[in-house]
Structure 1
Amino acid sequence: MPSTSFAFDTNSRPYPVQAVLWDMDGTLIDTEPYWIAAEAELVALHGGSWSDEQAHALVGCALPTGARVLQEAGVSLSVREIIDWLSERVATGVRQHIPWRPGARELLAAMNEAGIPQALVTMSERSIVNDLLERIPEDTFQATVTGEEVGQGKPNPEPYVQGLRLLSAQTGSEFDPAYCIGFEDSDPGIRSASAAGLHAVLIPNATDPGQGPWRRIASLEDVDVELMGEWLVRVGA
């Protein structure tokens, strides 16, 4: 659940970064192999065929979209049943081991120490998110948005728009999306963050969306609060 004890003062912050919004799968934690393995297992159980190309095409997509593709590949379950089956497999993996991407935990902690609000914006459902939240410091995120809580998933901008709206409600401050950073790893995700007006930052992982109206970096290990502020100052100059 979002914390309500987070203090945020727009006028006193030494950094131009107003907020940071994070994708989860593939960006903060490297769970894409969990999803890909679960998809392959489910298709095989139903006697269908599944390829690496098909699996990678689903990276970052809304779960109902992926479920319908799995139905076309031979899975004879409802969309809801497919989502529940996959989510349980991935949640089990997260409970056993959180595969953090390099630099992710350190940057989350640095943002909190700097007093910069953070939101988690993911197409995974609440069951998986709660497993992660139970295993990290309670005040890490001031808002969370999950796949079943939006009308339209990524690449639509709605998830990030909602994330900003929830952060605003929690902190009592209005945010300029251009001074908020959205970290993503997939094509649907980076397009969603960019379309929401965020300073979108791509860290390619299982797939590489290529160039676009976003910043590309090699690793979160190379990022700190000061550098993120420099990104926004240069853009706003």
Structure 2
Amino acid sequence: MTHPVGVKACLFDMDGLLINTEDIYTETLNETLAEFGKGPLTWDVKIQLQGLPGPEAGTKVIEHYGLPITLKEYEERNVALQSLKWGTCEFLPGALDLLKYLKSKGIPIALCTSSNKLKFHGKTSHLGHGFDLFDAIVTGDDPRIPKGRGKPFPDVWQLGLKELNKKYHTDIKPDKCMVFEDGIPGVKSGKAFGAHVIWVPHPEAHAVLGDTETLLAGKGELLSSLEKLEKAKYGL
């Protein structure tokens, strides 16, 4: 496996990687499914939803479980249930420490999330200054990302890197970047972007990940936690 020596920038997903919002998504979706006598959500289905923009994930859920509601109704239910719980989410092990470390080393960092701006603020506003550490933040509803170009397409990472290069007057290339992800669509998008991917799946997802080596194809590393990242190996 090759990996970039002297990483110039780090780009991060948010949900399930930096904060434990994936657990809240599961909890609230199970409440919706139970209303219609469906569910519970299992990881073989959930893994297909991770990293997708909200409308795409919602459409998949409605189709898979045969829910008798429209996407608009589904999203309204979700927003109502989730907004009650976002204030309880917290940083996952190693996440905040890693961000602080990269900041202290002067390595540009960007957040590239599929969450829209409203959800981003709902999930992070109570977490103090953690998200202020980022040099750039790109949300899934950024108008510069064309419709239908969410993960597994690389557009969100391309935009994040563009913002970093603009801020620092640099010309960092994707092959000098590390992308941090928890979901399969995100891993695919990070590879399509051309970066080295650090993949940190949810502990309960491991049983349904399939052939992780083939998916990474030598362009990344699978970790059980952000705490396990060997910074020296990447020149960080």
- TM-score of the superposed pair, with normalisation by structure 2: 0.80
Which runs of no fewer than 5 residues in structure 2 stay unpaired? Answer: none
* Deviation beyond 6 Å, 4+ runs, structure 1: none
Deviates more, 1:173-182 or 1:88-97: 88-97
**What is residue 85 of structure 2 aligned with on the other side?**
93
- Could you tell me which amino acid in structure 1 is paired with residue 17 of structure 2? T
1:113-124 aligned within 5 A: 113-124=104-115
Q: Is the 8 A contact 1:200 1:215 kept in 2?
A: yes
Q: Is the 8 A contact 2:153 2:192 kept in 1?
A: yes
**What is residue 205 of structure 2 aligned with on the other side?**
207
* Structure-1 separation of matches of 2:46 and 2:228: 29
C-alpha deviation, 1:50, in angstroms? 4.8
2:59 counterpart SS class? helix
Question: What are the superposed Cα offsets for residues 87-124 of structure 1, whole Å, 9 maximum, x if unpaired?
Answer: 454443231231x2211110000011111111111111
**What is residue 59 of structure 2 aligned with on the other side?**
68
Deviates more, 1:206-215 or 1:83-92: 83-92
- Could you tell me which amino acid in structure 2 is paired with residue 60 of structure 1? G
C-alpha deviation, 1:29, in angstroms? 1.2
* Structure-1 separation of matches of 2:223 and 2:45: 26
C-alpha deviation, 1:56, in angstroms? 3.6
Deviates more, 1:166-175 or 1:16-25: 166-175
1:58-207 aligned within 5 A: 58-72=49-63, 73-98=65-90, 100-134=91-125, 135-137=127-129, 139-149=132-142, 150-151=145-146, 152-205=149-202, 206-207=204-205
- Could you tell me which amino acid in structure 1 is paired with residue 93 of structure 2? P
C-alpha deviation, 1:178, in angstroms? 1.0
Deviates more, 1:56-65 or 1:113-122: 56-65
C-alpha deviation, 1:153, in angstroms? 0.9
The percentage of counterpart residues that share the same residue type is: 28
Gap change, CA 1:51 and 1:131, over 3 Å in 2: closer
- Could you tell me which amino acid in structure 2 is paired with residue 30 of structure 1? N
* Structure-2 separation of matches of 1:41 and 1:90: 10
Which runs of no fewer than 5 residues in structure 1 stay unpaired? Answer: 1-14, 231-237
**What is residue 217 of structure 1 aligned with on the other side?**
223
* Structure-1 separation of matches of 2:80 and 2:102: 30
**What is residue 54 of structure 1 aligned with on the other side?**
45
Aligned residues: 215
* Structure-2 separation of matches of 1:116 and 1:91: 33
Q: Is the 8 A contact 2:29 2:41 kept in 1?
A: no
